[in-house]
Structures are given as C-alpha cells and as structure tokens.
Amino acid sequence: MRQTIQWTIILAVVGVLFSGCATKTTNIDINNDKGEAVMGLDYRDFQGAAQDMVESLLASGAVTKKDGSRYVLVVSRIVNDTMQHIDTDQLVKKIRVGLLQSGKVVVTTAVGLDGAEDKMSMHAREELRGNAEFDQKSVAGKGSMIAPDLSLSGKILQRNIRVDSKTQRVEYYFQMTLSEIKTGLAYWEDERIVAKRGSNKSVAW
C-alpha cells in the first residue's frame, strides 16, 4: 500500500515536470532579437550579410551609370558550399530588394542560368503573339526585352574547426561578385565572415 502511494507521488511529479517544462511558443521580434546564437545560419546572419553587401555595393559606385539610367541586373548562380540546406534566395532576395530600392538597378526575371526566372514573361509573349483574341498592340513585340548589363554571382562557404575536445568553431564566408556581362570584368567584390564558437555537440547543418 505504502509503495503504491510512493509510486503515485513519483509519477505525479514526473508528470508535472514534463508539462511545466514544455517550451512556450513565442513570436520573435525580428527587429530586436537577442535570442541565443545558433551554430547554423539563421535569419540574422542572412540579414546582416545582405545589409553589408548592399551598402558596400552602393558605396562602391559600381551600380551608378554615368548617364543616370539604371543598370539591368541578372542573378547568376549563388553556390551553397555549406553543410546546410540553404535556399540562397534568403540572401539574394534581400540584396535584390535593396538594389531595387536604390533606384540604380532593375533586375531581369526573363533571363537565368536555368531559363527565365519568371517563365510567364516568355510564355505570355509566345502564347499571345498572333492570337486574334488579344489586341496585338498590347502584346509585347519582338525585340522589346532588355538584356542584362550586370551579373551577380556568389558563394557561401563553411569551415568547421575543432578547437578542443569540447569546442568547435564554424566559419561561414559570404562571397559576392558583380560582373559586367559585356566585358566579363568584375566591378565589385566583397566578403563577409560570420564566425561562431560553440559546443562540439552542436551540429552545424
């Protein structure tokens, strides 16, 4: 009888422990997030890298055209050479937004390494051209698309370094290059390093 009571108390305490320690879900204030750093890349790292890249690009003058008009930019390949499953748009989209807001650059979605980024831009032309159902004056004519002047390429690298039996360091390198398509010359390049130190038990992927 006494043993039954004891085990009932233990089970009750364990039950309370598990229910009481459940991590509460909260919304993160992304404008003032002082939550603990993680060994992998999180949104703060992408935000910081994108901010630095855009500022560096604008400060360099590489996107300022002499006649005051805007450059047409195409986004080339951004290689993910990390151990993480990263959608490189987490970085590139922020850079694109920043460049568009600068008023110095427009991005073409009609050209891309794997075909047009926005397939509709090509499809709509081919589909509607000569189609009697559509006013042909409103259909984009041949030769109306604008070819890109600049190409943005880059790479995200990861290096894992064992510091001692308990600690590891993970280094991430964000590298970007802006090349002129006509000449193939790189007008701007930059690199941002994000380094993290933490437990060897943490997995950085």
Partner 1 sequence: MRLILTILALFAFVGCAKSPEPSDAIVKVVGGCSSSDIVVIDIKGRKKSDGFMQAQVIGENRSDSYQNLEYRVVWLDSEGFAIDTILSKWNSAPAYANQPFYINATSPSAKAKTFRLYIKRDKEVICDKQYNGQ
Q: State the residues that interact with partner 1 by CB under 8 A.
A: 6, 9-10, 13-14, 16-17, 20-21, 23-24, 26, 28-29, 31-35, 47-48, 50-52, 54-55, 58-59, 61, 64, 94, 97-98, 101-104
- Whose Cβ is closer to partner 1: residue 131's or residue 199's? 199
Q: If residue 2 lies in a helix (H) or strand (E), which one and from where to where?
A: helix 2-20
Rounded-to-integer distance, Cα 73 and Cα 96, Å = 9
CB of 79 to partner 1, least distance (A): 23
CB of 95 to partner 1, least distance (A): 9
Which residue is it, tokens 């909260």?
Answer: 26
User: Residue type for 104, please?
Assistant: K
- Whose Cβ is closer to partner 1: residue 17's or residue 132's? 17
- Whose Cβ is closer to partner 1: residue 94's or residue 174's? 94
In degrees and rounded to multiples of 5, residue 12 shows phi and psi of -65, -45
- Whose Cβ is closer to partner 1: residue 65's or residue 129's? 65
CB of 163 to partner 1, least distance (A): 21
CB of 39 to partner 1, least distance (A): 16
Rounded-to-integer distance, Cα 174 and Cα 153, Å = 11
CB of 64 to partner 1, least distance (A): 4
- Whose Cβ is closer to partner 1: residue 54's or residue 78's? 54
